[in-house]
A and B are shown apart, each in its own frame.
Chain A
């Protein structure tokens, strides 16, 4: 049985003026259709680089080693042109900042329908109809009236909905979402998370959701992968991790969450670790130092 996604011993290294930085150090996991995996970790844990490597989006000086097999096909080492086909047909991505994903000088409608004219060869009117259907699917009211609007006429939450529409427009098998709600208000955040969740259950696509917030991870995922210093320190079913976290770092993450305690006195801060600053010698060390509080 071929897994939908099989990541084996993935390593991503950045060569910088200060020495070598290992952002991802030997990560392996796999997923099937319908899986919803949350990758949880603090800034600098390597979670974003991990997400981007699956799309071949790690830019120089980053170097990717190891293997990422999508539907049996190797992604690591492919040319930009081949990657573009894999991304368009198989893997969609939603980024943190919805403004970065949209071009300010083109209307929302033209950016959406471009997917269908370029990728599926639809006529302009067919593409428009498809785009409006997609806008409705992601919860844009009076979509046909908003079709000709520009990004600046949309709120942050609506822009993120459009980015999601663009990502799912080609019916990807996997959607990678990197902190898609971090820049949004709580009420808007809840709406976007519900949207992603329902799209995922509807279409059966695989979901990889990158976040630093365990509350978000709990709502969206069936499985959680906890990353620290470029490695997976704990992995398991979402509820099992919440009920019974085994790794000290996972426990520390939970203890630092305001929703888990009754008084600010019970918050357990996680000491700063400049993971990305690892010096050459530290990078050799395959087991990262894990900070244990309490």
Chain B
């Protein structure tokens, strides 16, 4: 018990979320508040991928937005680098945000149609000018393109000249521009065809290995989650109803909701090459 304090300090996780809560509304007479994020706690280590699975309306995206303070939490703590992000001033939070970047679901909506790839990737440096010196930016953009498996000549492309898979890889390169430690991936491939999902997933996973990034991977695609996540949190009506290592959750789901999710998930490997 006495050593506990020291031990926690020595191995404190990259990100620790404690009792996070966020509700909406409740001012109208007949309806109570909707609790979108209900007392959620978890930790995240470098190089780790946590999948948050659940249906639309379960609160997954609100959780992501609350972590980044795109919406303000009601209570709880988000500890990163020894500080509680929820208590930082606006300017301090802005500085910290470079370490927690987000990739959105729809690359058709998240990229400005009138910006070239080079402009899209370098835009974050306007807000955080200290990250990459001006003289090095062109080289850095090319390096980032290479990291997401896009050829150099994409530098001057506009979004409408690219496929959905290519656009999403540009969005990933842009998120990497600030050298984050954590990427929050909100359904990063569900707007894409199965046939191009694979290229984006391979890019993401190779990046994680190379850079030791931590991922919060929000998804409803269970076969995919099984391939990429180290641990899973099943979200239902704002709460984590089940958490655990990926294989444990798939092999021995304990919560009824997890079982119904697993039962609804379709498989291409019906008895052919069962896991």
Question: Which residues of A come within 8 Å of B, CB atoms?
Answer: 42-43, 156, 185-191, 193, 212-216, 218-219, 242-243, 252-254, 256-265, 267-272, 274
Contacts and interface: CB of A to CB of B under 8 A. Distances in A.
A242 B272 contact: yes
Contact of B228 (A193, A264, A272, A274): A264
A258 B227 contact: yes
Contacts of B269: 259-260
B264 A187 contact: yes
B227 A267 contact: yes
B220 A185 contact: yes
Contacts of A188: 55
B40 interface: no
B196 interface: yes
Interface stretch (B4-12, B82-90, B126-134, B198-206): B198-206
B56 A185 contact: yes
Interface residues of B, number: 37
A156 B56 CA distance: 10
Contacts of A191: 264
Contact of B202 (A212, A253, A267, A272): A267
Consensus secondary structure, chain A interface: helix
24 contacts: A42-B193, A42-B196, A185-B56, A187-B261, A189-B264, A190-B263, A193-B266, A213-B194, A215-B267, A215-B268, A218-B270, A242-B272, A253-B194, A258-B197, A258-B198, A258-B201, A258-B224, A258-B227, A259-B268, A260-B273, A264-B227, A269-B196, A269-B199, A272-B166
A216 B221 CA distance: 13
A250 B266 CA distance: 19
A216 B266 contact: yes
B201 A257 contact: no
Q: Which of A156, A189, A257 gathers most chain B CB within 10 Å?
A: A257
A257 B220 contact: no
A242 B222 CA distance: 20
Nearest to A188: B55
Contacts of A267: 198, 201-202, 227
B248 interface: no
Given A186-B261, A272-B166, A274-B163, 8 more contacts: A189-B264, A190-B266, A212-B193, A214-B194, A218-B268, A258-B227, A269-B198, A270-B196
B148 to A, nearest CB: 12
Contacts of B202: 264-265, 267, 269
A243 B272 contact: yes
Contacts of A264: 201-202, 205, 227-228
A43 B85 CA distance: 41
